[in-house]
Structure 1
């Protein structure tokens, strides 16, 4: 299936993070020493995780609206337990707003505050729109896509996502400080960030496959 509109935006946001990495590499080649080039790589890391967070939100909203517009379709329990205020019903009943428009606004208001960076939260978010056991299925998809035949488990995917998010939090909230390091900050390289960006993109693509095959 073609990538969703939300995934296409996710790809564009990751390209911005890749542009930051490439810019940092060029500055390293020029031996710029006026500032820590690692901060460019840290910004790219934060950008990549933010892109994932934003994509998960948009993907949930779009799929939930699609479910709401298909009467009689079997829906996940979490979707059926969504609380719909009387105001939303009245807006739709009196034809002041379409179901898709009003329901999406409601989802954005109720789920918009949730941070979809931690794998547990991501799995919980997608359980609104799918019954799939997310991370085992994602691991299966990633394993099938590998050329070396190496087995990837759901635990591996979860562990790596948690590590990426933890590093993002250290960058955003602790300036990536490491008192034991010579510079007082954890080291970071262009290759490390580029690999992280690519892995997030592959994982998100595998999530799409998992959701569409469920």
Structure 2
């Protein structure tokens, strides 16, 4: 079934970044018949894999900062407890008192300081970040939503969803940090196909859609 996509600047950017990853896959498929010693087509697929994971990492950050700003500006009694208890350094409190910045801006700045350079590719770290904007079990509810989208033909749980997501990001780390070399080998790289990368990109897209749905319900 067609899944509605969030109409937000943050998700539009995510979609554009995933489209870029898909273009790299298509470039590799186009060049595959012309393989030569000068062109390693598999590197297009590896680059696409890294790009796709970067896309969802970036989306998690931007979604976090955006939602923190909205919640802090509302000062609602329904604000998640972790955000309500979020501590600001004295210099930012003083800036607010001098009307140099709003409280919402001060909170977002401090959240950026804490999470801006953090990698949001591990399910545990993602949960730690998103707890500032929701008290839901995002992985469990996202798994339930994916099962619904699949007509209950799947029975994913938070554990299986996180494990599958970790498998995608772990391969990204092998590419980015270990040149995708086979363990114990300094020349041979792991095999990779356009179908594998396309599946990983589609899976990243589905996970982001499910978590976005959970955050908005």
TM-score scaled by length of structure 1: 0.92
Q: Is the 8 A contact 2:35 2:41 kept in 1?
A: no
* 3-state SS in 1 of match to 2:74: coil
Structure 1 unaligned spans of 5+: none
Matched with 2:128 is 124
Q: Residues 71-82 of structure 1 correspond to what in structure 2 (within 5 A)? A: 71-82=75-86
How far apart in 2 are the matches of 1:73 and 1:8?
30
| Alignment pair present for 1:162 and 2:166 | yes
How far apart in 1 are the matches of 2:198 and 2:36?
20
Q: Residues 97-136 of structure 1 correspond to what in structure 2 (within 5 A)? A: 97-136=101-140
Q: Which has the larger displacement, 142-151 or 162-171?
A: 142-151
Q: Residues 29-178 of structure 1 correspond to what in structure 2 (within 5 A)? A: 29-147=33-151, 149-178=153-182
C-alpha RMSD of matched pairs (Å): 1.9
Structure 2 unaligned spans of 5+: none
How far apart in 1 are the matches of 2:183 and 2:132?
42
Aligned length: 212
1:148 shift after superposition: 6.7
How far apart in 1 are the matches of 2:202 and 2:63?
19
How far apart in 1 are the matches of 2:44 and 2:76?
50
